[in-house]
Copies of this chain bind each other. A is one copy, B any other.
Amino acid sequence: MTEKNFVLKGDLCWSDESRSIQTISDGYLVCIDGKSAGVFPSLPECYAGLRLVDYSPYLIIPGLVDLHIHAPQFAFRGLGMDLQLLDWLERRAFPEEGKYANLEYTRKAYGLFVEHIRRGPSTRLVIYATVHSEATLLLMEMLEKSGLVTMVGKINMDRNSPDYLREESAALSLAATEKWLKGCNFKNTFPILTPRFIPSCSDELMRGLAGIQKKFGLPVQSHLSENQQEVEWVGKLCPQSAGYGAAYRDYDLFGGSVPTIMAHCVWSDKEEIALMAERQVFLAHCPQSNTNLSSGIAPVRRFLDAGVPAGLGSDIAGGVHDSIFRTMADTVQVSKLRQTLLKTAEKPIKLEEAFYLGTAGGGSFFGKCGSFTAGNDFDVLVMDDRNLAAPFELSIQDRLDRVVYLSDERNIRAKYVKGNILF
């Protein structure tokens, strides 16, 4: 028996492929070798000898998964939210990202970022760094020490970017990427190939990245159909492709055998959604960013109905808040506005569906993760929700509603990742 074999007791609440909320009041969640061995209303005899941590009457839920967050943008979250995407990149995001050529600044800024997300509700994150290989490796070292499980991308961008940030050529960008990959030797911090988005990457760079993808068997992340101006621009940059998503596919960087996350997809049409379903490309839905940058509201219901795998992203700093609880609430809220304003027939996203997206939905990009089903990695949040009490009794489902809408990091009593306790 190792340290990673133990039992947690409390009010259990989780979601699975059914996308509905499962609960067990005063139940048991068993961890064996860093994985869930299942949930039980009473503790099976065979686990009676394990160390039991009694978290009653707290709420025990899966760790949250952030499928899209920009580490260097954390520094300016909440500032100057009066621009749309392309201007915002020029005037806010790029100037800040330029600073990560300086390792001293990097250490300070990424230090704040890593400590913040370590204390927050996410147990897994898929992260953009900057073009800078050294700064990206420094971020990965810091993340490795945090106990979180992450995928991190050194960004590639060799066109349509300011001089201080643009890589000088496709060849140099590719060489820097291979060098960076050789430095990626971590246990819980994995590289993910990260062409910023098509406007920032030349054809030569995209083809080269597809080669690196095959050589190293890497997952891929990028941005897709976030903003109408951007979609039009890509149409002009890739006239040979049938659409923005199709352009990524034509570069061989869009699902199929390539595990892929595409953020935003606000303006994806029926064909693009069908292509994502066919190639099992993950949607990272980022409602707060899409609101702040006036991008619009992604038709999440259409993606779910089409069978596109999906999760949630905070998209710091297009989004201001890094908590995926907030992203769940935003997901429900903007889906209602979409229905009311556009008078669509699609039903709004329910809270239980948003909870699924922020746990098991996004978690599945990491394998068996994001749920309590036996065999899942043991990623767990223990939520002390006593300050969210009502003058009447609340069901576990009610308490989850409250935690999603009202909790903050003070409510996190304990956090486990792969069976290790972070705090």
State the A residues within 8 Å of B (CB).
75-82, 105, 108-109, 112, 288, 291-292, 294-297, 320-321, 329, 332-334, 336-342, 348, 350-351, 388, 390-392, 394, 398, 401-402, 404-406, 408
Contact = CB atoms under 8 A, between A and B. Distances in A.
Contacts of A342: 341
| A interface majority secondary structure | helix
A401 B341 contact: no
Given A77-B406, A296-B341, A338-B341, 12 more contacts: A75-B391, A78-B405, A79-B402, A80-B401, A81-B401, A82-B350, A108-B391, A291-B336, A296-B340, A320-B406, A337-B337, A408-B408
Contact of A78 (B112, B339, B406): B406
Number of copies: 2
B405 A320 contact: yes
B332 A334 contact: no
Contact of A294 (B76, B81, B340, B391): B340
A112 B390 CA distance: 9
A412 B224 CA distance: 40
A203 to B, nearest CB: 31
A154 B112 CA distance: 49
Nearest to A266: B340
Contacts of A333: 288, 291-292
B340 A76 contact: no
A341 B336 contact: no
Nearest to A105: B391
Nearest to A110: B391
A377 to B, nearest CB: 29
A401 B82 CA distance: 11
